[in-house]
């Protein structure tokens, strides 16, 4: 595959200046919350024409415009045209999920011998931080070089979590057509933390139908096994040779309907893949190719896992430009620590203590398939 082409003018400019052009950043008012707080929309553009729109309400990726093999741009993320769609109940279209992304079984965990009960919002469990998670908060925003930094302070006890957590999420658009997301957080009491972005992608363009023809590669043969509620059992299970094995490229729709228990449990793909490697080194999480447009998305992360979700519960959501998002019209690749980690000592730790700084980076890079 080859990177998206830069216009000749900018290539000439780069050769003269000896440096890469910076992305431009523009902000505008985008409406108000029910409490009357002003919400802003930030538009990031690089020299090649790629564009990202980010709002400080919930940290949503509102749009991500990327060129195809013919040089035509399309928005490859599902979402809404107006703020109202994000203020109401929605399928987490591109938000920052936290304080704990994904699931906490039984909506409780024990930390340093003390049991903490968090808000249950998915049956008896918690999903993506509770009823008023980070997706439903107004973040302070500041323009930074090539991007925007969003900051939110989560109060001690919010949704049941201990500790006052100060969190910054920075979105940066690079000259090599990548959206880079950096997460950083500190706390004044021991707490647990798992942050991700919940973007739904369709590399053919949002509103273009299902994503079953996208070709996916995930470089691991392991997942965290779950029960019927998709809560991890604690087992790191082999998926080698099964319909969940994407170590070789497969179309997402090729085996999604297979008579295979994990697929039945998830009503499709809704699984945490255990990425190879240890520590915080940047690692490959996934590669997705869309044959018709030629768009390729490569995901790299410092996180130990990535959740593949194939929009199994989209049920006719009115989206952008009058499009209706139905089942499997988008897919998510949520880089993360494992679901329910606070309840499984064998999983990588998600405990954050005073004096420590949580840091994480994920990069969604776009290119064109040969």
Instruction: Find the Cα–Cα–Cα–Cα dihedral 289, 359, 125, 91, rounded to 10°.
Output: -40
How far apart are alpha carbons 67 and 367 in whole angstroms?
9
Structurally, the chain folds into a number of domains equal to 1
Which pLDDT tens digits describe the chain residue by residue (370 residues)? 544 444 433 333 343 334 456 899 999 999 999 999 999 999 999 999 999 999 999 999 999 999 999 999 999 999 999 999 999 999 999 999 999 999 999 999 999 999 999 999 999 999 999 999 999 999 999 999 999 999 999 999 999 999 999 999 999 999 999 999 999 999 999 999 999 999 999 999 999 999 999 999 999 999 999 999 999 999 999 999 999 999 999 999 999 999 999 999 999 999 999 999 877 899 999 999 999 999 999 999 999 999 999 999 999 999 999 999 999 999 999 999 999 999 999 999 999 999 999 999 999 999 999 7
pTM of the shown model: 0.94
Domain that holds residue 196: 2-11+22-208+297-368
Q: What sign for the dihedral angle of Cα 71, 76, 81, 83?
A: negative
Please report, for residues 72, 131, 199, 265, 326, the alpha-carbon distance to residue 122 in angstroms, rounded to integers and kept in the order given.
40, 9, 20, 15, 21
How far apart are alpha carbons 317 and 336 in whole angstroms?
26
| Planar angle of CA 134, 139, 145, nearest 5 degrees | 120
How far apart are alpha carbons 323 and 208 in whole angstroms?
8
Hey, what are 79's tokens?
A: 């979402």
**Residue 226 is assigned to a structural domain of this protein:** no
Question: Cα-flanking dihedrals φ and ψ of residue 264, to 5°?
Answer: -65, -45
Say what the pLDDT of residue 21 is.
62
**Residue 279 is assigned to a structural domain of this protein:** no
**Residue 246 is assigned to a structural domain of this protein:** no
**Residue 181 is assigned to a structural domain of this protein:** yes
Q: Which residues does 250 contact at the CB level (< 8 Å), separation at least 6?
A: 215, 216
Say what the pLDDT of residue 11 is.
38
Closest CA to 48 of 174, 145, 171: 174
Burial label for 240, CB within 10 Å (0-12, 13-18, 19+), is: exposed
List residues bridging with 318 in a β-sheet.
Answer: 324
DSSP H or E run through 365: strand 358-368
Closest CA to 222 of 58, 323, 346: 346
**Residue 352 is assigned to a structural domain of this protein:** yes
Do residues 182 and 363 make contact, with C-beta atoms less than 8 angstroms apart? no
**Residue 273 is assigned to a structural domain of this protein:** no
**Residue 30 is assigned to a structural domain of this protein:** yes
**Residue 68 is assigned to a structural domain of this protein:** yes
DSSP per-residue string spanning 327-359: TTS-BEEEEESPTTGGG-TTSPP-EE-TT--EE
Could you give the residue numbers annotated as active site?
198, 334
Kindly report the CATH number assigned to the domain that includes residue 94. 2.70.98.10
Return the residue matching tokens 């039945």: 264
């Amino acid at each position: 595959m080859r990177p998206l082409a830069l216009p000749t003018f900018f290539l000439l400019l780069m050769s003269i200046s000896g440096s890469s052009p910076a992305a431009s950043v523009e902000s505008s008012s985008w409406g108000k919350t029910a409490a009357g707080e002003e919400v802003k929309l930030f538009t990031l553009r690089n020299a090649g024409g790629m564009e990202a729109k980010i709002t400080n309400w919930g940290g949503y990726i509102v749009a991500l415009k990327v060129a195809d093999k013919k040089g035509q741009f399309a928005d490859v993320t599902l979402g809404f045209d107006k703020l109202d769609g994000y203020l109401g109940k929605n399928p987490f279209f591109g938000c920052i999920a936290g304080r704990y992304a994904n699931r906490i079984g039984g909506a409780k965990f024990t930390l340093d011998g003390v049991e903490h009960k968090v808000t249950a919002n998915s049956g008896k469990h918690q999903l993506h931080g509770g009823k008023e998670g980070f997706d439903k908060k107004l973040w302070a925003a500041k323009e930074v070089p090539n991007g925007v930094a969003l900051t939110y302070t989560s109060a001690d006890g919010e949704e049941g979590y201990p500790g006052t957590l100060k969190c910054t999420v920075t979105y940066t658009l690079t000259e090599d057509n990548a959206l880079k997301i950096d997460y950083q957080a500190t706390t004044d009491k021991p707490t647990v933390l798992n942050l991700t972005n919940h973007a739904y992608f369709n590399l053919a363009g949002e509103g273009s139908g299902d994503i079953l023809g996208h070709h996916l590669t995930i470089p691991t043969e392991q997942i965290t096994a779950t029960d019927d509620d998709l809560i991890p059992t604690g087992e790191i299970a082999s998926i080698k040779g099964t319909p969940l094995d994407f170590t070789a490229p497969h179309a997402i729709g090729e085996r999604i309907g297979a008579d295979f228990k994990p697929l039945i449990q998830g009503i499709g793909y809704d699984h945490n893949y255990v990425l190879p490697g240890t520590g915080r080194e940047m690692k490959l999480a996934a590669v997705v190719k869309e044959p018709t447009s030629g768009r390729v998305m490569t995901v790299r992360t410092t996180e130990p896992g990535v959740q593949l979700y194939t929009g199994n519960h989209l049920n006719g959501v009115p989206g952008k430009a009058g499009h209706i998002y139905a089942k499997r019209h988008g897919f998510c690749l949520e880089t993360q620590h494992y679901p329910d980690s606070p309840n499984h000592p064998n999983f990588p730790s998600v405990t954050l203590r005073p004096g420590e700084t949580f840091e994480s980076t994920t990069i969604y890079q776009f290119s064109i398939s040969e």
